[in-house]
Amino acid sequence: MTYDLTIIMPSYNMGEYISEALDSIFMQKTSYSYQIIVADDCSNDNTIEIVKNYQSKYPNKITLLTSETNQKLYRNVLRAYAITKTPYFCVLDPDDYYLSDNFLQKALDFLNHNEDYTIYMSNVYKKMLDGATEPYLEQKDINFDFEDYINGRTIFSQTSGCVYRNVVFKDGVPDKLLNPPEKSWETSFRGDTFRNVLHIFYGKAHVSKDCDTVYRITDKGIWQNMRQIKRDVLNTFIFRDLFTYFDEKYLKLFTYSLGFFNKACGEFFDEIDKIEDDNQRLKILKDMSILKKYFNSKSDLLKNNVEPIKKKKPLLLLFKRFLNKIFKLNKS
């Protein structure tokens, strides 16, 4: 059987929430056919049992990918992309859910009638730990393209609100993603930022003001549990790796990466002592050492980015001295 849409659900120990996510899919009133791929990353709770119960209730609707080892999110979701051949796809994390029963119909109707668009996004409600909700974005319709993104004029919605025209994975996973040149790609490209950027590269995005889905804030969330310095280091890698992915054609991606690195340098001395886990402290130190070496290797690009360096150079020099002292690094 052929389908119009694939809904990818990467899961790991989400038995507490996954039924609500699946129910929100099956409540959709849509003329489009869809399939669900649940990519489970070796859960040790009741997640797989729950999914199998849904498989028995909805034959031919759910494909369950299991794993004997924990692969982490990047490799886990990559195997779902590899078998996603439908014209459209989306990702629904199992702790989020659809609120409106016509969300998928609206999304696919829009993409079906606007072939120059590759992403449909709805606004979403953030659901806090206490149950309170608030809109994730300002409530107005927005349209933008890759040039807007490069120039900092875009605001992406959260994962649950995004539906894509399948222009990246329809012919398989790109070789660059299957064989990433840097280990950091497995972190940079595991979530929705890279997915949005890769798809907007091929077309435009529409953001609807309607809040049609729910983004649940939990104490298990990867992003929510990060200290600010870890977020800024991660963003440094994301923009660096996007710059590499696009063959270093878009200098502003490099500039954004440098900006987050400088921000992390500014936070370093205040933040590092607040991280109690020695392994996490060492991880940040190593990551920032890697990034320092990367920016030093791009001296030609740094010379062409006089403004950001002029403002931030003291922080870079201070951080360089600190790392040289801690790790006894050779001066670059």
Q: How far apart are CA 130 and CA 148, in angstroms?
A: 36
Same domain, residue pair 313 and 267: yes
Q: Which of 101, 135, 142, 100 is nearest to 121 (CA)?
A: 142
Does residue 24 belong to any structural domain of this protein?
Answer: yes
Where in the sequence is the domain holding 245, given as residue range(s)? 228-327
Q: 137-162: per-residue pLDDT in tens? A: 988 999 999 999 999 999 999 999 99
Same domain, residue pair 259 and 320: yes
Same domain, residue pair 132 and 244: no
- The last residue of one of the domains, among 195, 216, 237, is 216
Q: So what's the pLDDT on residue 299?
A: 82
Same domain, residue pair 67 and 159: yes
Asked if pLDDT for residue 40 goes beyond 90, the answer is: yes
Does residue 223 belong to any structural domain of this protein?
Answer: no
Element (H, E) at 315: helix 306-327
Q: So what's the pLDDT on residue 313?
A: 45
| CA dihedral of 99, 5, 39, 48, whole degrees rounded to 10 | 60
Q: 170-200: per-residue pLDDT in tens? A: 999 999 999 999 999 999 999 999 999 999 9
Report the number of distinct structural domains present in the chain: 2
pLDDT-derived band of residue 279, with 50, 70 and 90 as boundaries? confident
Does residue 150 belong to any structural domain of this protein?
Answer: yes
Same domain, residue pair 196 and 232: no
Q: 254-277: per-residue pLDDT in tens? A: 999 999 999 998 887 777 777 777
Same domain, residue pair 254 and 153: no
The enclosing domain of 141 has a CATH number of 3.90.550.10
Beta strands in the chain (DSSP E): 5-11, 34-40, 62-65, 88-91, 97-98, 117-127, 133-135, 142-144, 162-165, 204-216
Does residue 221 belong to any structural domain of this protein?
Answer: no
Residue 137: both structure tokens together: 């974005």
Same domain, residue pair 100 and 183: yes
Same domain, residue pair 233 and 207: no
Q: What share of the chain is helix, strand, coil (3-state, %, to 5)?
A: 45, 15, 35
Same domain, residue pair 24 and 102: yes
Residue 284: both structure tokens together: 């940040």
Same domain, residue pair 310 and 289: yes
Does residue 332 belong to any structural domain of this protein?
Answer: no
- The last residue of one of the domains, among 167, 194, 216, is 216
The pTM for the full model equals: 0.89
Q: 194-227: per-residue pLDDT in tens? A: 999 999 999 999 999 999 999 999 876 555 566 7
- The last residue of one of the domains, among 171, 194, 216, is 216
Does residue 222 belong to any structural domain of this protein?
Answer: no
Does residue 246 belong to any structural domain of this protein?
Answer: yes
Does residue 67 belong to any structural domain of this protein?
Answer: yes
Q: How far apart are CA 32 and CA 174, in angstroms?
A: 27
Residue 171: both structure tokens together: 């012919």
Same domain, residue pair 305 and 205: no
Asked if pLDDT for residue 111 goes beyond 60, the answer is: yes
Output the CA–CA distances (angstroms, integers) from residue 43 to 16, 17, 147, in the order listed. Answer: 12, 13, 40
